[in-house]
């Protein structure tokens, strides 16, 4: 149970740090930042899949499922937004 508490503390610290850093990023740098978060989300997806491959408790599987769902949502959303941005440069 102590492991889950440590994981939650690390998650909250990472969330707050990421939120504060993204607030300070200039608007013109959001696209490269989005590409980097897609790469990080892909690593998160792989880690969640590895978690499901090992023997874990139901709570750990629940956290893994939440990580998998949110990371997949971020990756798909990033591709959709990138496609929309690229379509702005296509000739009509």
pLDDT in tens, 27-55: 777 667 777 777 788 888 888 888 888 88
Q: What is the dihedral of CA 16, 44, 22, 83, to 10 degrees?
A: -150
Q: How far apart are CA 51 and CA 59, in angstroms?
A: 12
Spans of all domains in the chain: 2-87
pLDDT at 2 over 70: no
State residue 32 phi and psi, 5-degree precision.
-65, -35
Report if pTM > 0.85.
no
Residue scoring higher pLDDT (77 or 28)? 77
3 state SS of 56? coil
């Amino acid at each position: 149970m102590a492991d889950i508490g440590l994981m939650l503390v690390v998650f909250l610290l990472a969330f707050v740090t990421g939120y504060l850093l993204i607030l300070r990023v200039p608007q013109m740098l959001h696209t490269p930042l989005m590409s980097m978060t897609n790469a990080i989300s892909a690593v998160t997806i792989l880690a969640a899949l590895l978690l499901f491959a090992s023997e874990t408790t139901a709570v750990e599987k629940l956290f893994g499922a939440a990580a998998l769902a949110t990371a997949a949502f971020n990756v798909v959303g990033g591709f959709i937004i990138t496609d929309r941005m690229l379509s702005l440069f296509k000739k009509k």
